[in-house]
Amino acid sequence: MDILFIADPLESFKIHKDSTFAMMREAQRRGWRVWACDTPDLLWERGGVVQAVVRAITLTGDAQHWFAQTACTPRPLHDFGAVVMRKDPPFDSEFFYATHLLEQAEREGARVFNQPRALRDHPEKLAILEFPQFIGPTLVTRDADAVRRFHAEHRDIILKPLDGMGGMGIFRVRDDGMNLGSIIETLNQGGARSLMVQRFLPEISAGDKRVLVIGGKPVPYCLARIPQGNEVRGNLAAGGKGVAQPLSDADRAIAQALGPVLAERGLLLVGLDVIGDRLTEINVTSPTCFQEITDQTGFDVAAMFVDALEQALGAAPV
């Protein structure tokens, strides 16, 4: 059976830590034929079906030349046993349009994971608003005065754009309010853009935990991304140190509460971000940390993912 990964260009992969690569490797090990494309490769024309120019690849085991391309051809998406959407953020207009093409492909018989409508319905910053019992004090607004009132109440706050990734555009403003006005102007662009403001959680010193939920069930280990030096961000892309650890009781409670709900909506893989016992984000586009958790604990996250994928399909590859 063929499996298509829609992802960033293969040449950009850092395979020692890339979760999509880990998925590909496990799928190939089980006998799946692996294909890849990027969102610009998607195409639909009246009278036809959604298709893409796709690359048939074989993983070589060579760290320098990690894949061999055996074919490059247009194919309908419904030809594949599974389509795994792994395009990295930002969730911009082109990502949005891609989800509509993928939803059309679903109507034509394609099996897409995570489901396109679910990707659209769960923007990664805003999805937490549905679960207020698990989050800390949070404000979403364009209004600069509302941000100032929030700061006056909570004194130590985090501000971030709604479309950022990897810690981009995150600011901390302490009790003295230093540069608050300038930061608001930078993020909301004179009231033109919404931003999120949250009370600073001092538990970040122990790490911003990535809790993976696969098929509605939590992976038993998370990756605590610990800020280094004077950095407030724990994101690995911002220099955070990743330390795998067993789920805490709070981590597990959040994952067990949200997991079945999100899985029922078509989200096979979710990455919950937790600081202390507070949920801060719900990542659905291309959650990562598979390899870091596996390397440090021995728990095979990619195997759990492909198990869940095969269960969702109702069959192993043939």
Active site residue 125: yes
Q: Which of 233, 235, 278, 310 is catalytic?
A: 233
State yes or no: is 142 an active-site residue.
no
Q: Which of 25, 86, 111, 125 is catalytic?
A: 125
Pick the catalytic residue from 18, 124, 273, 310.
273
The question of whether 281 is a catalytic residue gets the answer yes
- Write down the catalytic residue from 114, 188, 235, 283: 283
Q: Catalytic residue at 233? A: yes
Which of these is catalytic: 111, 199, 210, 278? 210
Question: Phi then psi for 121, rounded to 5 degrees?
Answer: -80, -5
Amino acid at 9: P
The reply to whether 225 belongs to the active site is yes
Tell me which of 25, 55, 111, 160 is the catalytic residue.
160
Instruction: Produce one character per residue of 63-80: b if its CB has 16 or more CB atoms within 10 Å, e if not.
Output: eeebbeeeeeeebbbbeb
Helix axes 144-154, 180-188, angle to 10 degrees: 140
Q: Does 160 qualify as catalytic in the annotation?
A: yes
| Both structure tokens of 190 | 């004179």
Residue identified by tokens 């018989």 is 109
Of residues 25, 86, 209, 225, which has the active-site annotation? 225
Catalytically active residues, by annotation: 125, 160, 210, 225, 233, 273, 281, 283
